[in-house]
Amino acid sequence: MPRLVFTAKLENLLAMMRLITEQAQAVGFEEKKINQIQLAAEEVLANVINYAYPDKSGEVEINLTPEPSKQLEIEISDSGIAFNPLDLPEPDISTPMEKRQIGGLGVYLLRKLMDEVRYKREGERNILTFIKKV
């Protein structure tokens, strides 16, 4: 099970995404599903990088549990401010773009693109787990 810890900085996003993409390919996902995994993971990681540590630097941990020909479980955790993205209300996507509130579409995409999404706060850590099935 690959597990890596990165400093939560934008310059590390490419390395984080490469790790996730390699694991998705190893599981055997078709290109469309790899793109969905990439979109969801990039949204989650960008949010951690941009918002988890407003007054200090911190780390983001990525744990991957690949099950070849079955699924990929991605766990992203940080020790930043407590935040459950699944508590956000679903955005009203029928509202014209110019009238929508900023934010919330990333979590909406995460929910729609992944087969399962879970959040828990364990001690001082945010742990977001999402699963994509082949």
Residue 34 has pLDDT above 60, yes or no: yes
Tell me the CATH architecture of domain 3-133: 2-Layer Sandwich (3.30)
Q: Pairing state of beta strands 3-7 and 71-78?
A: unpaired
The amino acid that residue 131 corresponds to is I
Number of H helices, E strands in the chain: 3, 5
Residue 109 has pLDDT above 70, yes or no: yes
Domain ranges within the chain, ordered by starting residue: 3-133
Within a 10 A sphere around the Cβ of 64, how many other Cβ atoms? Answer: 20
* pTM of the predicted model as reported, rounded to 2 decimal places: 0.89
